[in-house]
Amino acid sequence: MNPRFEFTIHAKSGRARTGTIRMKRGDIRTPAFMPVGTAATVKAMKPETLRETGADIILGNTYHLMLRPGAERVARLGGLHKFMNWSRPILTDSGGYQVMSLSDLRKITEEGVTFASHLDGSRHLLTPERSMEIQRLLGSDIVMAFDECPRADRPRDEIARSMDMSMRWAARSRAGFDSGGDHAEDAALFGIQQGALDEGLRRESADALRSIGFDGYAIGGLAVGEGQEAMFATLDFAPAMLPEDRPRYLMGVGKPDDLVGAVERGVDMFDCVLPSRSGRNGQGFTWNGAINLRNARHAEDQAPLDERCACSVCGHYSRAYLHHLHKSGEILGAMLLTEHNIAFYQQLMQAMRDAIADDRFADFAADFRRDYLRPKA
């Protein structure tokens, strides 16, 4: 039987690492990309098809699930895995980011965050303890600590106060998780580093998290509008502040070139809505960059979306057909392009794992950027 949580690094290439997280519901190969299943579904994807793309783990959203259908209801129905027919690991976010984004609907105190539901206006209080309870009711495999995520352009003293409170909330999350009985014996808890773009605040946050102790460590507060250059500048120092022998998870990232640059800087795990959201909006990701399938230039193009892609969509459907589906507003267009995008992301992660194992990641990254970022005619 697999252990509760065990992370092994198999190889390194520069600062890039490849390894395996072993959990009771299965192994997670790193670097790993987690498709986002906000409301117990990765939009336009069946779970069995999702697994066929190579996904080892998916993400569920605490905020949305607590409001609809409700964490207690999911628990009565056997937990999130049974509810959505996904037997492998699930990571659930804490709900903090979504609550923080509702700036006109919430009030923050030391206790937690009081907010109004975006669905019906009902009032709720989300605290570190309640976040742990919700994630336990869902049956999450990787639970995220409850934190606040301020915008990077806020004054430093405001970011510092927020980070300090998030570290106090991290300690409360640890205590709340540990009181979870059988669930705490089977699941893992990740802490979240904050501090925006400030190296000193990131160091303070990392030190606080290390003193509490977590199974893995996330880098929060990035990919919130600061731009790739600023994000990479922060990733030049932030991952190394976190324990070497634990997974490092960059939350909410990102575009394919973001993933390559972050792996280059020592990150192991990612999640993002981009491949599924883009698929619904007619954008496909390829080894030669992103393609807008709504563009008229594809109307009679019989080529596959990406000749280097091994997914079934590229094996059976032309750009012309995908263009037709999206121009016609057909649901199948969203389904096929989402499947391709998630499959492409998983192929990219496998290519990075292989390159790290062969100690050729620098060459891989250079070749990838050459092709992916090449100006299009």
Active-site position among 56, 198, 215, 271: 271
Q: Report the C-alpha gap between 344 and 270 in whole angstroms.
A: 14
Q: Could you identify the residue written with the tokens 């120092």? A: 237
Q: Report the C-alpha gap between 348 and 263 in whole angstroms.
A: 11
Residues comprising the chain, all counted = 377
- Pick from 34, 133, 165: nearest CA to 91: 34
Three-state secondary structure call for residue 115: strand
- Contacts by 206-213 with C-beta closer than 8 Å and gap 24+? 206/238, 206/241, 206/242, 207/241, 208/167, 208/170, 209/167, 209/170, 209/242, 210/242, 210/243, 212/167, 212/170, 212/171, 212/174, 213/174
- Which runs of E-coded beta strand occur in 297-358? none
Active-site position among 56, 93, 198, 306: 93
- Report which DSSP code applies to 293: T
271 is an active site residue: yes
Positions marked catalytic: 93, 271
